[in-house]
Structure 1
């Protein structure tokens, strides 16, 4: 099998550190909101872009 540089335990530890640290969680929440707005705008433009054209 291939030997990957990251293990499942390291990934779990990283995710736990992101969830449990208050200062990291605040930044991650801002990032999640920005990604949500971006994805929402893509969906909106794909569905209703023709109606918004001048």
Structure 2
């Protein structure tokens, strides 16, 4: 019955991901965003696990 709808949305997702990866300007922005997110999450992890060692 509704087999066409999920494949259409899957194709839209694939097109979106390809447009984000294959375009150089968009990829550069996405890499900056991923690095910032990784640094943020890494700093939260470090402070939660080793924050007591940094206390004065």
> Same fold judged by TM-score > 0.5?
yes
Looking at CA atoms only, which structure, 1 or 2, has the larger radius of gyration?
Answer: 2
CA-atom RMSD, angstroms? 1.9
Flag as ranges the 4+ runs of structure 1 deviating above 4 A.
none
Query: Which sections of structure 1, spanning at least 5 residues, go unmatched?
Result: none
TM-score by length of 2: 0.82
Greater helix proportion = 2
TM-score by length of 1: 0.85
Query: Which sections of structure 2, spanning at least 5 residues, go unmatched?
Result: none
